[in-house]
Structure formats: C-alpha cells, structure tokens
Amino acid sequence: MTSSTHSAPLSRVSSIDILRGLIIILMALDHTRAYWGVTPFSPTDIELSHWTWFFTRWITHFCAPLFVFLTGVSAFLYGQKVQDKTQLRNFLFTRGLWLVLLEILVITPSWQGSYNTVVWQVIWVIGWSMIILSVLIYLKPKWILALCVPVLLLHNALNDADILMQLSQFDWLWHVLHTQGAIEFNNSNYSIYVAYPLIPWFSFMALGYVIGQTYLWSPQKRITYLTNLGLGFVVMFVLLRATGSYGDPSEFDGQYQGINALMSFLNTHKYPPSLQYLLMTLGPGLILLAQLEKLTVTHPLYLRIAWLKTFGAVPLFFYVIHVPIINGLALIYTWAKYGQPINMFFESFKLPSSYEPSLVLTFTVWILLLAALYLPCKQYAALKRQSNNMILSYL
C-alpha cells in the first residue's frame, strides 16, 4: 500500500476532523442518554424496547470503532509530519500511558462521583492500543496486517466461558484481554470493571495506522480506495449477518417483521466488538470519510457541517469535561425533582416509581450541552494551534 503521489493536507485533515467531530457529538448523545434517559430495559432489547430508543443507542455504536480507527490514521499522519520513528514511538507510548492514567485517576470518578470501582473504558483501551502501536510501527505494513487482521477475523471463535474456567484464579487476565467483567480483590471494597478489553480494539487502531498510508496517495485514488473498501465491508457484513454463519454471538432472527426485523439485523455485539460489528460500523465510516473529502470549502454541505471540526479538533478535551457536566447536572436535576441526587447510570435501581424515561428530555439536554461546549472547544482548539507547548498536545 504505497504511492509516490502526495495529496494536499488541508482536505484530508478537514475530512478527518469533521468525521471525528460527528463521532464526538454522537458519543455525547449516548452519555446524555445514560444519565438523563436511563431505561428499565436495554435500548437494544427488541422485545422490550421501542425503535426510537433502539436507534438512539444503535447510531452511537459507530463512535468507538471509528474513533479508535481514526486514532491509528492520525498516528500515521503524525509520523509523516515528524519523519522520525523514535519520536513517533515516544509520542504514542507517553500519550498512551497518559490516557491510561487519565482514565483511572480522572475519568472514573467523574462518571461515578466515587471511587469504589475503577472502570476501564474506551480511553483506557485507546491508551493501551497506542502503547502497543508504538511497538508495531517498526514492522512493515504487511506484517502489521498479518498480526492484526487475524485478531479481527478470528477472535469470535474463542470460547470465553471455557477459557475463563480454565484460567481459574487468573480469569482476571481474560477479562483484561477479551471479555467484559469485574476483577475483585480479596478483603477489599474496591474492584475493577473491564468494559473495553484489549482484543480486538488494538487491532482497530493498527488497521487505521496501515490504511493511513492512503493519505500519501492522490485524493482521487484515496477516495476510490476508501469507498470500495467500505462497500466491501458492508457487503461482507450483510452476507455474514444474513447467513448467520460466523462473526457475532447473537444471530439475526428472521421471524421478526417490519422495523423489528431491521433492528434484529443491526443488533450486533459490541462488548467485545464482534467481526460483524466491525464491518457494520467501519464500512459506512470509510465511505463517509471518503465522501467528506470530496467537499470543497465552498460547498453548501461543507459550510453546514464545518462546525463539527471544532469538536473533532479537541476530542479528548471534550471527553474529559463533558462527563462531569452531564453527571453533575443530572444529580442536581434528580435532587430537585425527586428529593435526592441520583446517579442514574450507576444507581438506576434507586429511581422512584414516578420516573419515566424521556427521549425529548435526553435530546434537549444533549443539544444544550453541545451549544454550551462549542465555544470552550473552539477556544481551546485555537490555543493548541497557536502554542508550541507539548503539554497541550496531550489534551
């Protein structure tokens, strides 16, 4: 995957930032729903959920895989900028370590308001994936693919229950690597909950790093390649999902009718992300990334969506500040409405009988949140552009 034809950097950076910005606002919708629109049923439970709740949750499935993938692409572009493997390695390693610490020390308490359980979520897995990538960059792209693509393709063949049983007292290791679960400590009130195991997330990032080489190609060749690759992923997803042959622990149920049939078809497994989940999310994401690059800065659609670049330019800054805002305001809201502050994400069992989940409330709070954070994100993005301070690059 090489080419001697280079493209101008402006359009590709804009397309990546716009897509990343879209991911960020969808992520904020999911987190707003978790605190302001918690439901007594899973939004993806077809038997209990309504299609409005289902698709409010489903659309946010694109966030984690595309963000991790784009982190890999950005790592490649940073390497092209510095033209120094050692500098790239050091950046990936130190930033990855910083993200792991940030998840544990800052983000975990912002979600809970307490510290009894350390939750290893997406920032944790991005951090470790960057640390792993800091080693993989010394390999040729074909060898990176040879190591990572089998992980993406074959990890669904693993029998988690059997492996956990065989590992016995070391089952915590498999929670870190592949299956969600709690890690308990003897004679302690503290625990760790692994929400995002390493496999196969680190392979998403490595794939993004390799595909980042397309940004050394001409725009036309890159757009065609990304579009065709995305279409190929979509076709593979449809075939695997329709046949139920492989790639997801939950099969498509053809007995459903109408909108429920569509919901069943799209209801793939995220924890850990199945092969079908990867194809379902990354395929359309690649197509959208390619189409965004076609837009000129004067195109009417570009002018309407350019504001997304503000959020896409400072994703970690947005992430760090938006969770405590959503959580804190939800605590104030429940205190005023029900007489006690309730963390609805972690303490949904405390919700009073009069509580009713509302999508209108969820979307209203989400829109107000984006409006409130737009200017701070814009100012911080401007500060990062104008400053050479390396510390700013870590947030």
Task: Decide if 223 is inside a domain.
Answer: yes
9 or 122, which is more confident: 122
Q: How many domains does the chain have?
A: 1
Model pLDDT for residues 338-354, shown as the tens digit of each residue:
999 998 888 777 888 89
- Categorize the per-residue pLDDT at 115 as very low, low, confident or very high, splitting at 50, 70 and 90: confident
Task: Decide if 301 is inside a domain.
Answer: yes
Model pLDDT for residues 31-57, shown as the tens digit of each residue:
999 999 999 899 999 999 999 999 999
State the average pLDDT over residues 119-140. Answer: 97
Task: Decide if 43 is inside a domain.
Answer: yes
pTM (2 d.p.): 0.93
Query: What is the structure's pLDDT at 169?
Result: 85
Query: What is the structure's pLDDT at 47?
Result: 93
Model pLDDT for residues 141-198, shown as the tens digit of each residue:
999 999 999 999 999 999 999 999 999 889 999 999 999 999 988 877 888 999 999 9
Task: Decide if 324 is inside a domain.
Answer: yes
Q: Is the pLDDT of residue 10 over 50?
A: no
**Structural domain of 323:** 9-394
Instruction: Output the 3-class SS for the chain.
Output: CCCCCCCCHHHHHHHHHHHHHHHHHHHHHHHHHHHHCCCCCCCCCCCCCCHHHHHHHHHHHHHHHHHHHHHHHHHHHHHHHHCCHHHHHHHHHHHHHHHHHHHHHHHHHHHHCCCCEEEECHHHHHHHHHHHHHHHCCCCHHHHHHHHHHHHHHHHHCCHHHHHHHHHHHHHHHHHHCCCEEEECCCCCCEEEECCCHHHHHHHHHHHHHHHHHHHCCHHHHHHHHHHHHHHHHHHHHHHHHHCCCCCCCCCCCCCCHHHHHHHHHCCCCCCCCHHHHHHHHHHHHHHHHHHHCCCCCCHHHHHHCCHHHHHHCHHHHHHHHHHHHHHHHHHHHHHHHCCCCCCCCCHHHCCCCCCCCHHHHHHHHHHHHHHHHHHHHHHHHHHHHCCCHHHHHC
* Residue % of the chain over a pLDDT of 70: 97
- Categorize the per-residue pLDDT at 1 as very low, low, confident or very high, splitting at 50, 70 and 90: low
State the average pLDDT over residues 189-209. Answer: 94
Q: What's the mean pLDDT when you consider all of the chain? A: 92
Model pLDDT for residues 310-349, shown as the tens digit of each residue:
999 999 999 999 999 999 999 999 999 999 999 888 877 7
Query: What is the structure's pLDDT at 172?
Result: 93
State the average pLDDT over residues 115-130. Answer: 92
Task: Decide if 2 is inside a domain.
Answer: no
Query: What is the structure's pLDDT at 9?
Result: 39
- Categorize the per-residue pLDDT at 387 as very low, low, confident or very high, splitting at 50, 70 and 90: confident
Task: Decide if 4 is inside a domain.
Answer: no
Task: Decide if 253 is inside a domain.
Answer: yes
